[in-house]
Chain A
């Protein structure tokens, strides 16, 4: 009995500290698996429930993605020429646009594809690259997540699909636009894209409704 207590004490100290240093791969796996389970959940299969499904996925994404970091990295040097108010607005609008784009894509196209977690590479103590693969029929698509440790939480700041970095791709686009237009113009364009997304959804909802009615008429 006397020997067990010191061992127990050591275990009780060691185990919590192990749990505290969450690894980036685990920090990614949790949310991604949650998203997949939401997509597979039978209660959301009905197209009427799509908004609810979207909101559920948004909750997960909000915690997983570091939108401020992504906004900074896509604007790069242009960040400095944005006022704080513009920076905040840009981050909100860009975050909403990215989330909507990602969610509408996976809602439309997800067909029980498998996500394989290949490995994690620590670049520094607070920066990591988590490599995954999406297996779709005979095709394997490498998707790598750049993650950063901030306040004890690992979050995604870049997604790299088949060698193409999201952040770099948007940086090129935004840089081109900001060469000749003010920040407010870029923010307006993003807002217009969001409007188009909402309309696109409205159009497809209407189409789905008509298809449904057509089946009964």
Chain B
């Protein structure tokens, strides 16, 4: 009986050892080490076909070119088999994740004003690097952290009517109440909104709704993508929403000089929290204009779904 028990335990110990050896399918080191021959044949094949299509080569020649492409493809396979360098994952045509993705996940907003938008994008880019970045860097260096946070809290608090109206119009009664409570709590205990005691209560989480999202909830489509100078990316619907929000922003009703000054301070303060973000986005992008456009659309879609 004793031997049986101990041999059983031994068996268990052995199986434990076997369990901890996951098969790693780690990708090869990210340094391209492709022999020149395969590379050149690859480059040849698609561009040849491209040329044939563009130049309008007669049918026979196209057939010939097709044969040649096939030959090249066969050569490729042979050379790759010889080297044994192509792992199974790269021969796999399987794109099963496409089935998982629903149609609504694929978001595309028309961009008929693309040339104008690209121009505005360039303008905003220069504006950022020549003006906003140096000024917000200086601002960040001079203004202490708590003061910056205080200013942000103040303006966030002031924008409560926008969020509340957005919640109400979207039928989010509870969220509207939360915004109301937040406003009173932050304005009183948080001293006119500079503090944010409400953040200590998770049930009083901020609900960032605006007119653009409200319109989206009613089924209003994006319209098309537009890049405004200074104001940045938007869509037709979101621009209409922003105009609506202006009427609910208390700052709008102050004398124009004060209003402009306060808006400017708000934007500058916000920018000081995010120095480096735009540069990172540009660095990480192959086509910065498309990257920003897609990022904006995705971001708005996420906010709408919240």
Contacts and interface: CB of A to CB of B under 8 A. Distances in A.
Interface in A57-112: 62-63, 66-68, 72-73, 76-77, 79-80, 83-89, 91-93, 95-96, 99, 101, 104-105, 108-109
Interface stretch (B83-91, B169-177, B260-268): B83-91
A87 B5 CA distance: 54
A91 to B, nearest CB: 6
Contacts of A85: 34, 38-39, 42, 76, 80, 86, 90
Interface string A140-154: 000000000011110
Interface of B: 5, 8-9, 12-13, 15-16, 19-20, 22-32, 34, 38-39, 42-43, 45-47, 50, 73, 76-77, 80, 85-87, 89-91, 93, 95, 97-98, 107, 145, 148-149, 152-153, 273-274, 276, 280, 283-287, 290-291, 293-295, 298-299, 301-303
B46 A67 contact: no
A173 B16 contact: no
Contacts of B93: 79-80
For B91, B274, B295, the residue with the greatest tally of chain A CB atoms inside 10 Å of its CB is: B295
Contacts of A17: 19
A172 B91 contact: no
Contacts of B298: 163-165, 168-169
A147 to B, nearest CB: 13
Contacts of A63: 24, 26
Q: List the 6 closest pairs (A to B, CB-CB), nearest first.
A: A163-B302, A96-B30, A138-B149, A182-B46, A172-B294, A152-B22
B149 A73 contact: no
Contacts of B145: 137-138
Nearest to A13: B12
22 contacts: A12-B9, A13-B12, A20-B19, A62-B29, A62-B30, A63-B26, A66-B27, A83-B73, A85-B76, A88-B86, A95-B30, A96-B30, A101-B284, A104-B283, A105-B280, A151-B22, A163-B302, A165-B298, A168-B298, A172-B294, A173-B285, A184-B42
Given A16-B15, A76-B98, A85-B34, 6 more contacts: A19-B20, A68-B89, A76-B95, A89-B34, A137-B149, A184-B42
A62 B26 CA distance: 7
Chain A: interface secondary structure?
helix
A176 interface: yes
Contact of A164 (B31, B77, B295): B295
Contacts of A197: 283
B53 to A, nearest CB: 12
Contact of B291 (A12, A77, A173, A184): A173
Contact of A153 (B24, B80, B280): B24
A91 B93 CA distance: 14
Given A84-B90, A168-B294, A176-B290, A73 B97 contact: yes
B80 to A, nearest CB: 6
B95 A173 contact: no
Given A73-B97, A177-B286, A88 B85 contact: yes
Nearest to B93: A80
Contacts of B95: 72, 76-77, 79-80
B31 to A, nearest CB: 7
B98 to A, nearest CB: 6
Interface in A1-38: 5, 8-9, 12-13, 16-17, 19-20
Given A5-B5, A16-B15, A169 B294 contact: yes
B27 A9 contact: no
B248 to A, nearest CB: 24
A62 B97 contact: no
Contacts of A79: 93, 95
Contacts of B45: 83
A197 B286 CA distance: 12
Given A87-B90, A174-B286, A184-B43, A12 B13 contact: yes
